[in-house]
Amino acid sequence: MSGGETGGGEHGKKMEKLSIYGSCLLLLFLFGCVSSNKPAAIADSGFRQRTHQFTSRHGEQEAAKDFANGVYAIYSANAYTLYYPGLDIEVGGAVVKKFGVRHIEGTSDTIKSSEHRDFILAAFHFASKYNRKKLELLKSSGKL
């Protein structure tokens, strides 16, 4: 392949990832405009604490540590279908088939409250960084 073909392919993949990520964010925003008549303690259901946990974690560092310890699985989240944040569905599926998956419980495209929306965004952000780093490491090591 010529340099132009490789660059165009990589650019296309990056644009596709941005498009998928942007679509998810738009859906989260639209569905996130949810009002709840429930008291905050009931509507929260632990999402504030879980949001804090995900915002405190470093996806790339955890992926590198897990990789060094022989853990090659990636993270998945639920939307209308199973989703691998940060990865194309085909690529994520290939990694899962070979190495397994860790599902982030509580993710959904049905937003229950603003706290739930914040949790989903934090989880997707973490998992996206984790999954991209894990894919990079799997490819560079020849495991994928």
Does the model's pTM come out above 0.95? no
Give yes or no for a contact between 28 and 120, defined as CB atoms under 8 angstroms apart.
Answer: yes
User: Residues 6 or more apart from 91 whose CB is under 8 A from it?
Assistant: 84, 135
- Which two structure tokens, joined as six digits, stand for 53? 């946990």
88-129 pLDDT per residue, tens: 999 999 999 999 999 999 998 888 899 999 999 999 999 999
User: Alpha helices, DSSP H only, in the chain?
Assistant: 3-32, 40-44, 47-56, 59-68, 89-99, 114-141
22-71 pLDDT per residue, tens: 555 544 554 444 444 444 444 566 899 999 999 999 999 999 999 999 99
Nearest to 104 by CA among 129, 80, 122: 122
